[in-house]
Structure 1
Amino acid sequence: MTRLTLHPRAAPRNKIRVWLCIDGAPEQSSAVPLQWKINEEVVEPEILRPLSTSHNSGTVLLTGVFEISVDEDSGPFNRVSLTTFGETVELRVKQAPREIPKDTWFRVLLCSCFHQAENRQALVSQTFLNIPAPERQDLSLFMGDQVYLDLPTLNNYPDNEAELADRFERYYRTNWTSYLGLDTILKTAPSVFCPDDHEYWNNFPHRSPIIQNSWKQASRERWKSAADQLYDAFQCAAPAERGDNIEIDIDPVSILVLDQRTHRQEDRSATLTPEGLQRLNDWVDRLIAEKKFGAVVTGQSLLDKPVGEFKGAVADWMLPNYRDYESIVKALERLSDAGRPVLLLTGDVHWGRVTEVRQAGRTKFIEIICSPSSLVTTIGNDQLKSIGAGFRRFFKGEETRWPRHSSAPDPEPYFAQRVFGKRYQTKVVYKHQGNQLSMLALRRAANTLEAKVTYYEVHKRPKEPRPVSLGLL
């Protein structure tokens, strides 16, 4: 049976972009007949990524990205339908507004670190559906580790590109097209994606002691090739290419999504290509000239400190360990010096936190961390934490709501101290423990923007959502 899936993608004004997945297409079909409609009118969309197999040796799972033009007065919602192989799928697409509104909030859903095997009872989907419809997002930002291609840890992965791609395709299929995955969120609002290491393997592109396929250069190349193909098929923001910076403008805000994994260098010389770094500076120049607010999405925190050689090799290298870190934070400093705080949006660390970065009493940056949506299993460490929680419950009567989750630590007292010295002080605004989603909300207020972020607990007995005011930017 052929199964169709449509998801909206972030698009320019008066455009609708949709990602299409056809699962179970007849193998004998040389061409796929696609009949598109928008608001019941037949249309011929522009092909941004041609419909093709999800990897080089694939057969029955096809993906592609298409763009449809819409009239200015078509309204905030449009109905898109597709018919092929006797099956029809429909999608209600919410268009992004031209500008941040005054009388309501523009909402951005933040999500990262989704380990599907731990998403018991589909709690991520259920948590999202419990958000009242009027309070749901206009845009979704997925900030890394949407899949964990390197898990389970003790699995014996084949050292063969085609077999790896087949396995990765199964992970993506579940995460993108099922209620047990991210499908419920993905089909409700346009999305954009930022990769992190588990789109490849832990601490990619470096060797990992727990990933045998990463120990040899040829094995790493085969794994990367397979992972690249699946990323292109499911996450890449066509017509942009994997590794490109992605810019999303909702006046007076511009969101820049930085892909610091695709072209990250093993010698730690760079996380961005020279072209990517130049485009970051061009974006900063444009925002200063146009007097816009900036938000930057990264897979790892820019507030991290560098780690030592042993920890970097065994666990993870942090962004300050790479030689282009200084150029990146200096570019963002130029933007904050133009008079508006810069929002730093990220995941990765398996706890949530809101941090202000201040200089002489003035807010220069606000970092929002939302992680994880579904905590990854860590063999050994999880068992020890669960045993400890059991002892505390038995002997002290203490209930531990999140026995496997770490509490958010305080950030380093100074932002990028090796670059800026003690110029920028950090101040914690809020910490959130446990599986989570969060919603960044913006609206116009006088000549500036009002901002808040709300954290939603992904739990079978969730506490009330926690709104955190960010004040006027």
Structure 2
Amino acid sequence: MSPREDPVAARDSGLGADERVGQDRRQTCWAWGTPGLARQASASCKQQTRSLRDAWPNSSTGLARQLTCKPNPRRVNRPAGKARSLNAIPRARDASTAIGNDSHPHAIFPRRGRGATVQPNVVLHPCGAAADRLRVWLGIFGKTASPASLSWRLDGVVVEPSTVVRPLESVRQGTYLSGSPPRTFTGVFDFVLPPAAQGRAHVVEAMIPGEPTPASLTTSPVPAQVGTDWSQPFNVLTMSCFDTATDRGKARQVLSSLPQHLVPHLTLLTGDQVYLDAPTPENLPNDDVALAEVLEQKYIHNWRTPGVFSHVLDMAPTVCCPDDHEYWNNYPTRFAFAGNTWQAKGRQRWMAIGKRLYQCFQHTNAVPFGHPIRVDVSPLSFLVVDTRSFRDDGGNNNTLHGNALAAVKQWAKSLKSSGHIGVFVSGQSLMEDAKGWFGARLKDATLANFDDYAPIMEALHEAMRDGSDILLVTGDVHWSHVAQLEPVDALVNGSRAFEVICSPSSLLNSIFKATKPPPIHEWAGSKRQTGMRLPTRMGKDLKGDHACILSFRRIGLRSAPSVELKVTFVPLSPGEPPYELGSTLVLRRR
């Protein structure tokens, strides 16, 4: 499948900083206490707000003033200990009118020099599902009510969806809505394909009254099985940690030019598809309606075409899992640079809105939100697990939804009866060492800090004892590697595991810079924690912005299938060559 061409490719690429930012450059920063730290924060905010100025042409200047504030020299030079409260930063006077004002299309961050960017009001993105269907996410932007009618065409023929996975509804509703302002409506729809039409590209169109042209998407269903020829491998694109403000169109440019043998058939996004807490710091409103408006706009910036991240979403049918920035840094614990998280009430408000937004934009499966999502491409079985949304910083020391652990165990047991090889996808690594009390709160807790970590690992070890190698796919750590894992009971358990980490894809520009990958013995958990010997890194570990392509080829008998795996890291900087792991991995079903 070829990626959908974007008619306005220049939107987040090539324009100069002066054209994007103009003379009204503002930053969000409170008094830091020292001039040096203030300068770092100022540089960070300048970089991050570039995309905000270009992102929301239908918003008003009130939101611009709310999201950004002019630097104050008196703040910069204020002695340490005299910093002004975050809540002292002025907010927009009328948050209810700060967003989605279609009557004032150029009120915030007007485009300069090359004409206005046209953003469609109706957008489609492909979603991961079974091989017998196309699943599409539909977004309708800037409307005061759900459309009176909605019609579809598949390859030019008028059709009705086979299944409404999630009906079209307003993202903001109930306590998050005041009146009937322009806002976003989303839904998820399935179109079952006859056997003869599976395995090839189709054109899906959605039409609503009042829109001059339909939304159109060219996509293919997820393949039913892995092929046997390296000239036509089954490719999975995996990415994490994508900040559009620092990407500036580089990902679109690189991924649009992938050679045919690397074009993905499935995309796995393993967390931080949005940064709801960026720029850092930022003074966000403290009421339901205004906060929901602001955070919804950050999703719109990424999901609405022709933005740079919307191109990633169109590369192939996509399945997502969240990590902390789908909420805020180190969620669910308080974050020093996010004033809304300092009190329990503020954290609860942000958490509830973040969950609602995630469900409407990223959760596109029929299983309830928080339950693992399974996608089978024989002989592979992918399980995409939300290990972040249902953490609780007060008493409940679990990382999974209440019913998710049972689903993980059931999946692990089913690998034997189905003859599949397991691929476990999560927002954080299962191999990372547990943090101490201080580290878990100042930095971020790892999966090993939670009570349901041991049952997850036991389920995976049981699957390995039943004859399946396991592939772990994750992100989060801001460096990338491939590691081989050997269980401590290797004498009686012949299976192996591998871990692929790809992070980041576009590193958030902040005062906290990424470091090079730590030595494996300092980062990985003990064998008592993981049940694995010390991981062995394969090839070189990487720093910088990358996407990763996992290319699979089936080998062996159908009764005992195995797959070969080639791992290719693609630097998301034009002109840099891909790095392919020197050795081909083999995942076996014993």
Q: One fold, TM greater than 0.5? A: yes
188, 212, 221: which one aligns with 2:348: 221
- Please give the alpha-carbon distance, in whole angstroms, between the structure 1 residues aligned to 2:438 and 2:158: 59
Asked if 2 retains the 8 angstrom alpha-carbon contact of 1:357 and 1:415, the reply is no
Report runs of 4+ in structure 1 exceeding 6 Å deviation: none
- Structure number with the higher strand fraction is 1
Q: Give CA-to-partner distance per residue, 1:292-329, whole Å, 9 cap, x none.
A: 10000110111100111111111111111111111111
In the alignment, residue 349 of structure 1 is paired with which amino acid? V
Q: CA deviation at 1:139?
A: 0.3
The equivalences for 1:74-223 within 5 A come to: 74-75=197-198, 76-84=200-208, 85=210, 86-103=212-229, 104-120=232-248, 122-223=249-350
Q: Name the SS for the 1:87 alignment partner.
A: coil
1:19 aligns with 2:137: yes
Once the two structures are overlaid, the 10-residue window that deviates more, 356-365 or 333-342, is 356-365
Q: How has the CA–CA distance of structure 1 residues 3 and 273 changed in structure 2, closer, same or farther, with 3 Å as cutoff?
A: closer
- Please give the alpha-carbon distance, in whole angstroms, between the structure 1 residues aligned to 2:182 and 2:259: 40
Asked if 2 retains the 8 angstrom alpha-carbon contact of 1:53 and 1:60, the reply is yes
Q: Name the SS for the 1:110 alignment partner.
A: strand
Q: CA deviation at 1:165?
A: 1.3
Partner of 1:333: 461
Q: CA deviation at 1:468?
A: 4.6
In the alignment, residue 550 of structure 2 is paired with which amino acid? L
Partner of 1:395: none
Partner of 1:36: 152
Q: Give CA-to-partner distance per residue, 1:179-199, whole Å, 9 cap, x none.
A: 443111212311000000100
Q: How has the CA–CA distance of structure 1 residues 254 and 464 changed in structure 2, closer, same or farther, with 3 Å as cutoff?
A: closer
- Please give the alpha-carbon distance, in whole angstroms, between the structure 1 residues aligned to 2:146 and 2:170: 12
Asked if 1 retains the 8 angstrom alpha-carbon contact of 2:416 and 2:467, the reply is no
- Please give the alpha-carbon distance, in whole angstroms, between the structure 2 residues aligned to 1:162 and 1:313: 29
Q: Name the SS for the 1:425 alignment partner.
A: coil
- Please give the alpha-carbon distance, in whole angstroms, between the structure 1 residues aligned to 2:530 and 2:147: 57
Asked if 1 retains the 8 angstrom alpha-carbon contact of 2:372 and 2:407, the reply is yes
In the alignment, residue 321 of structure 1 is paired with which amino acid? N
Q: How has the CA–CA distance of structure 1 residues 464 and 248 changed in structure 2, closer, same or farther, with 3 Å as cutoff?
A: closer
Contiguous gaps of at least 5 residues in structure 2 = 1-101, 103-119
TM-score using structure 2 length: 0.72
Asked if 2 retains the 8 angstrom alpha-carbon contact of 1:268 and 1:321, the reply is no
In the alignment, residue 319 of structure 2 is paired with which amino acid? V
- Please give the alpha-carbon distance, in whole angstroms, between the structure 2 residues aligned to 1:420 and 1:220: 31
1:410 aligns with 2:527: no
- Please give the alpha-carbon distance, in whole angstroms, between the structure 2 residues aligned to 1:372 and 1:315: 17
- Please give the alpha-carbon distance, in whole angstroms, between the structure 2 residues aligned to 1:66 and 1:468: 41
- Please give the alpha-carbon distance, in whole angstroms, between the structure 1 residues aligned to 2:397 and 2:142: 43
416, 434, 438: which one aligns with 1:310: 438
Q: CA deviation at 1:467?
A: 4.0
Q: Name the SS for the 1:469 alignment partner.
A: coil
In the alignment, residue 132 of structure 1 is paired with which amino acid? P
- Please give the alpha-carbon distance, in whole angstroms, between the structure 2 residues aligned to 1:231 and 1:32: 25
TM-score using structure 1 length: 0.90
Q: CA deviation at 1:236?
A: 0.8
- Please give the alpha-carbon distance, in whole angstroms, between the structure 2 residues aligned to 1:209 and 1:420: 31
Q: Name the SS for the 2:413 alignment partner.
A: helix
Q: Name the SS for the 2:386 alignment partner.
A: coil
Q: Name the SS for the 2:276 alignment partner.
A: coil
Q: CA deviation at 1:411?
A: 2.5
Q: Name the SS for the 2:552 alignment partner.
A: strand
1:50 aligns with 2:167: yes
Q: How has the CA–CA distance of structure 1 residues 470 and 214 changed in structure 2, closer, same or farther, with 3 Å as cutoff?
A: farther
- Please give the alpha-carbon distance, in whole angstroms, between the structure 2 residues aligned to 1:420 and 1:374: 30
Q: Name the SS for the 1:320 alignment partner.
A: helix
1:295 aligns with 2:423: yes
Give the RMSD, CA atoms, in angstroms: 1.9
- Please give the alpha-carbon distance, in whole angstroms, between the structure 2 residues aligned to 1:62 and 1:319: 34
Q: CA deviation at 1:416?
A: 4.8
Q: Give CA-to-partner distance per residue, 1:129-175, whole Å, 9 cap, x none.
A: 12124421000000000011011112111111211111111111111
Q: Name the SS for the 1:202 alignment partner.
A: coil
1:424 aligns with 2:533: yes
- Please give the alpha-carbon distance, in whole angstroms, between the structure 1 residues aligned to 2:437 and 2:416: 38
Partner of 2:128: 10
Q: CA deviation at 1:224?
A: 1.1
- Please give the alpha-carbon distance, in whole angstroms, between the structure 2 residues aligned to 1:274 and 1:95: 31
Partner of 2:498: 366
Q: Name the SS for the 2:335 alignment partner.
A: coil
Asked if 2 retains the 8 angstrom alpha-carbon contact of 1:158 and 1:164, the reply is yes
Once the two structures are overlaid, the 10-residue window that deviates more, 69-78 or 313-322, is 69-78
Asked if 2 retains the 8 angstrom alpha-carbon contact of 1:108 and 1:440, the reply is yes
1:69 aligns with 2:201: no
565, 570, 574: which one aligns with 1:451: 565
Higher-Rg member (1/2): 2
Q: How many residues align?
A: 446
Q: How has the CA–CA distance of structure 1 residues 110 and 471 changed in structure 2, closer, same or farther, with 3 Å as cutoff?
A: same
Q: How has the CA–CA distance of structure 1 residues 33 and 468 changed in structure 2, closer, same or farther, with 3 Å as cutoff?
A: farther
Question: Could you tell me the percent identity over the aligned residues?
Answer: 33
The equivalences for 1:227-376 within 5 A come to: 227-266=354-393, 267=395, 269-359=397-487, 360=490, 364-376=496-508
In the alignment, residue 375 of structure 1 is paired with which amino acid? L
Asked if 1 retains the 8 angstrom alpha-carbon contact of 2:554 and 2:563, the reply is yes
- Please give the alpha-carbon distance, in whole angstroms, between the structure 2 residues aligned to 1:420 and 1:196: 21
